[in-house]
Amino acid sequence: MPLREQIEELAARPGNEYTSADHELFAEFKAALNSGMVRAAEKDDEACWHVNSWVKRGILVGFRMGTMEEMSASRSLRFFDKNTYPTRALTVADNVRVVPGGSSIRDGAFVAPGVVCMPPMYVNVGAYVDEGTMIDSHALVGSCAQIGKRVHLSAAAQIGGVLEPVGAMPVIIEDDVLVGGGCGVYEGTIVRARAVLAAGTILTGSTPVYDLVSGRICQRQNDQPLEIPAGAVVVPGARAVQSERGREWGLSIYAAVIVKYRDEKTDRAVQLEDYLR
């Protein structure tokens, strides 16, 4: 029976009693996550992203299967979590740079060769981080978030994951995107290839993004996530509150603004130096 069918059967089973065979199946599933063989979302030939709900179910059943266990690194660094999700056991052969200083990658996350992890940063279960990406200090890659090749997640960038509900799109950051310092990308937002998010930009499902170049407003439509166009350069901005009281008080609320699309000048400004690798 294919792995997908076995995991769906395991997730649908009532109760909390699991056999050694069930734990072996879950270990096989987690190994597939670690290797990138299965992932929480995938892009089709038409560049549309689709959720793999069964993968999310498999991740969730892992929490149900697990029991609390001490995972303390020392007597002064105490950790307690489900034994199904310890930290990821990387080796030098994985060719992932994890710079000393308190970073953590949870088991069940794919981190490709050539990724650089600056301390302290965190990658949660179900995440997929592709080749050549740099995860800077205090950055978070949330559960099931999908990060492309050569992405730079700058210091304190927060890439929220979406584990529940299982049918919801996780956050997607495509290839060659720069996510500036202190940015937050949440609620299944898709940031297309080569986009640049300036420091402090916040994107959620309800964030309107004003495209000054094309004259349109990017918003979440129906069940479709907010999508930042390829190559867009997005900065934090504000829009006036149009109600009578808002005008009286001179209020404005947050908005994101596309001020330009990526060009050679932008490329030079955001280029990741190979020396850092």
Each of the 277 residues of the chain gets a pLDDT tens digit; together they read 899 999 999 999 988 899 999 999 999 999 999 999 999 999 999 999 999 999 999 999 999 999 999 988 888 888 899 999 999 999 999 999 999 998 999 999 999 999 999 999 999 999 999 999 999 999 999 999 999 999 999 999 999 989 988 999 999 999 999 999 999 999 999 999 999 999 999 999 999 999 999 999 999 988 889 999 999 999 999 999 999 999 999 999 999 999 999 988 877 777 765 656 5
Task: State the Cα–Cα distance between residues 55 and 27, nearest whole angstrom.
Answer: 13
Note whether residue 101 is domain-resident. yes
The pLDDT value recorded for residue 125 is 98
Report pLDDT for 270: 74
pTM above 0.85, yes or no: yes
The verdict on residue 230 lying in a domain is no
What is the chain written as a DSSP string? --HHHHHHHHHH--SS---HHHHHHHHHHHHHHHHTSS-SEEE-TTS-EEE-HHHHHHHHHHHHH--EEE--SSSSS--EEETTS-B----GGG--EE-SSS-EEBTT-EE-TT-EEPSS-EE-TT-EE-TT-EE-TT-EE-TT-EE-TT-EE-TT-EE----SSTTSPPPEE-TT-EE-TT-EE-TT-EE-TT-EE-TT-EE-TT--EEETTTTEEE--BTTBPPEEPTTEEEEEEEEE--SHHHHHHT-EEEEEEEEEE--HHHHHHHPPPGGG-
Find the Cα–Cα–Cα–Cα dihedral 260, 261, 266, 270, rounded to 10°. 110
Answer whether residue 117 is part of any domain. Answer: yes
DSSP result, 110-150: EE-TT-EEPSS-EE-TT-EE-TT-EE-TT-EE-TT-EE-TT
Does some domain include residue 57?
yes
To which residue do tokens 């929490």 refer? 63
Strand order in the sheet with 158-159: 104-105, 122-123, 140-141, 158-159, 184-185, 202-203
Question: Is residue 241 within 8 Å of residue 232, measured between CB atoms?
Answer: no
User: Bridge partners of 260?
Assistant: 233
Rounded to the nearest 5 degrees, what angle is found at the Cα of 228, between the Cα atoms of 222 and 234?
A: 135
Q: What is the pLDDT of residue 73?
A: 81
Alpha-carbon dihedral 170, 152, 46, 213, rounded to 10 degrees: 100
Is residue 26 one of the residues assigned to a domain?
yes
In a domain, 77, yes or no: no
Range of the domain at 9: 3-68+83-197
Give domain status of residue 217, yes or no.
no
- Please check whether residue 269 lies inside any domain of the structure: no
**Structural domains counted in the chain:** 1
CA–CA distance, 42 with 81 (Å, rounded to integer):
29
Query: What are the backbone dihedrals phi and psi of residue 129, each rounded to the nearest 5 degrees, phi first?
Result: -120, 115
Using CA atoms, how far apart are residues 127 and 72, in angstroms rounded to an integer? 23
Q: What is the CATH number of the domain that holds 111?
A: 2.160.10.10
